[in-house]
Each structure stands twice: as structure tokens, then as C-alpha cells.
């Protein structure tokens, strides 16, 4: 279970370039919408405090935490060591690859023997060395893997170059999700977005959720695996895994960045998603294997579907009434 945490190394992290100012970019990507949503969320939290920590993290427009980037920069050459720091992530493919494959097949039932995901475009956010990107490419998908750590992207590119089967199916780019979202040719073109062991390292989840919506086609699928914010996840993921057993380097995780399924679902649904499933995951450090479980107390996987493009700030108190008078409609 503890090693669930080590996988978390990566993602979403990025060496941020200058944080964009609130406003509309030439591509139609609206930072002003992100700013407004964050302000309104903070206002609601101050009026009606909730037992969640989401608002405490909404302080920047960059999803990345520079400290996380520096930490994973040191591990960038070790991604493909199946017995090393990323062993649990290698093993996690036994669950997350079938999860992604089967759900996408249900939504896109095309017959491509041997390459069931052919014709689909997938964005792998926080791809690291390509541990998940490559198997998705082998299933026939066209996959773009992004990560802010340039050395990790270099490791991914070199490893993929040894497999001729992957040529033309994989692309890698050293960037953040918000940087990619500002590129007009990339926005709204993906059938699925994967963020596996990423969100617990991010600096700004509001921007992350907004950008996920921006990158997906309507009806596109979002797959997330992460760590719950519970006493048990702290005890096993940090105290045991990092401080006692040294399964992962000390300091890999910050419990304050963990997020509960309820909080994550609330965030996603306010950004144009409908959460379809949430399933617990359990890691056995003795066997080195993952299994599905009914408990989400430690690790869990979430699948959501984009239901709308028009992610706009939620109305403040009284706005809905003012709007009904303006349009002449009443409930």
C-alpha cells in the first residue's frame, strides 16, 4: 500500500514559465475564467467553510510546484529501472492500462484486431519516462506525453526509439498542461486525458481541471489515479513508506496536497465533467502487485467524462436571480 505513494513522483510538475496574466489568449484559452472561478470559490469558502483544503491550493496559475520538479529531476534517469524507485508504477500498469483500454473501447467500439485503440488520441499528463505512454501506444492509440522535466522527456524519447512498433504513434513534449492548453492546434483534440499519480504533486488544481476540460473533445474521458487524504494514507504513505521502510525517498509526498474522491469529484464537476466511477486501489509491497479494492482510503482511480465546453465561472449569490430578470425567465 505504501508504495502506492512512490508512484506519485512526477507529473503535473513543471518548471513554470512566466505565469500568464488573467485574460483571453489568442487561442481562446481563458485565464480570466480560471481567475474568476478561483475568486468565487475562495469567496464561497470564506462564507461557508467546508472540510476540504482545495481553496488553500488556489494561489497560482501554474499547476507546477518547482520543488517537485527539482525532486524528480534527480530521478529522471531511473524511470525504466523496474526494481528501482518507480517499481510500483511499473506494476500499476496491470490495473491502469486495462482500465483505460476497456472504458475507451466501451465508448469507441471499433474493430481493430491487435490495436484496439487505433484512431484515438490520448494525452498523458506528467508522463515521466513514458511508463504508461508506451503501452497505450502499443494498443494503437496516438499518444502525446508531456512533462515539465526535460530530462524525463529525453529518457522517454530514447526508450521509445528502441521499439519500431511505436514510431509514428508517440510524441513527447517538455511542457506543462497549461502551456499546452494555450496552443490552438492542440486544444480540444483529445479523446482521452490521463493523469496518473500526478494531482498529488500539483500547485493549482483549479487550473488543472480547467485545462483538462480545454484539451478534451466533448464526451472525452479523463482518467486519474491518486492518493486519498486520510489518516491512513498519511500513516502508510509517508510515515511507513518514506520514513520507516524507505520504500520511496523521504519527502516525496506532501499530505496537504492529497485529495479525497469527494473533493476531486466536486472540483471536476464544477469544471464541466461528470464523474462516472471511483474505485479503490491497493498495493502489496510483498508481492509487488496492485489489486482493485472497495476501499478508497489510500489509493483510488477515477474516471470522468467531459459533458460541456462552456466552463464559465459559477454565479455568485444573487446572480441567478438577476439573470432571470434580465432574460425574463423564472423558475
Annotated binding site for S-adenosyl-L-methionine: 96, 126, 147, 196
**From the annotation, which residues make up the binding site?**
96, 126, 147, 196-197, 200-201
- The number of C-alpha atoms within 13 Å of 82 and in the hemisphere containing its C-beta is 6
Binding annotation for Mg(2+): 197, 200-201
- C-alpha dist (Å) from residue 30 to 21, 37, 209, 277, 305: 10, 11, 13, 29, 21
Q: What is the DSSP string of 143-178?
A: EEEEES-HHHHHHHHHHHHT-GGGTTTEEEEE--HH
Cα 236 from Cα 328, distance rounded (Å): 56
CA distance 268 to 309: 13
Torsion of CA 86, 90, 92, 93, to 10 degrees: 150
> Which residues 6+ apart lie within 8 Å of 73 measured at CB?
149, 151, 152
Amino acid at each position: 500500500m505504501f508504495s502506492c505513494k512512490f508512484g506519485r513522483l512526477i507529473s503535473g510538475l513543471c518548471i513554470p514559465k512566466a505565469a500568464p496574466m488573467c485574460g483571453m489568449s489568442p487561442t481562446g484559452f481563458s485565464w480570466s475564467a480560471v481567475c474568476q472561478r478561483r475568486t468565487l470559490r475562495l469567496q464561497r469558502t470564506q462564507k461557508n467553510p467546508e472540510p476540504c483544503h482545495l481553496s488553500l491550493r488556489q494561489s497560482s496559475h501554474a499547476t507546477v510546484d518547482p520543488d517537485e520538479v527539482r525532486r524528480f529531476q534527480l530521478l529522471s534517469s531511473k524511470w525504466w529501472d523496474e526494481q528501482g524507485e518507480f517499481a510500483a508504477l511499473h506494476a500499476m500498469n496491470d490495473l491502469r492500462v486495462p482500465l483505460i483500454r476497456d472504458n475507451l473501447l466501451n465508448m469507441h467500439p471499433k474493430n481493430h484486431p491487435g490495436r484496439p485503440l487505433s484512431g484515438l488520441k490520448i494525452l498523458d499528463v506528467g508522463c515521466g519516462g513514458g511508463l504508461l505512454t508506451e503501452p497505450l501506444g502499443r494498443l494503437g492509440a496516438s499518444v502525446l506525453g508531456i512533462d515539465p522535466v526535460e530530462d524525463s522527456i529525453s529518457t522517454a524519447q530514447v526508450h521509445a526509439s528502441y521499439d519500431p512498433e511505436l514510431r509514428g504513434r508517440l510524441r513527447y513534449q517538455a511542457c506543462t498542461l497549461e502551456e499546452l492548453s494555450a496552443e490552438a492546434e492542440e486544444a480540444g483534440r483529445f479523446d482521452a486525458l490521463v493523469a496518473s499519480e500526478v494531482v498529488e504533486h500539483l500547485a493549482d488544481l483549479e487550473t488543472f481541471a480547467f485545462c483538462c476540460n480545454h484539451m478534451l473533445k466533448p464526451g472525452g474521458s479523463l482518467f486519474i489515479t491518486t492518493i486519498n487524504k486520510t489518516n491512513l494514507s498519511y500513516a502508510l504513505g509517508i510515515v511507513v513508506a518514506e520514513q520507516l521502510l524507505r520504500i520511496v525517498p523521504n519527502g516525496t509526498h506532501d499530505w496537504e496536497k492529497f485529495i479525497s474522491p469527494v473533493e476531486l469529484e466536486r472540483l471536476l464537476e464544477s469544471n464541466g465533467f461528470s464523474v462516472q466511477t471511483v474505485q479503490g486501489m491497493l498495493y502489496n509491497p510483498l508481492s509487488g502487485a496492485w489489486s482493485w479494492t472497495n476501499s478508497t482510503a489510500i489509493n483510488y482511480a477515477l474516471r470522468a467524462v467531459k459533458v460541456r465546453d462552456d466552463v464559465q465561472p459559477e454565479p455568485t449569490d444573487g446572480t441567478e436571480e438577476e439573470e432571470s430578470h434580465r432574460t425574463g425567465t423564472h423558475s
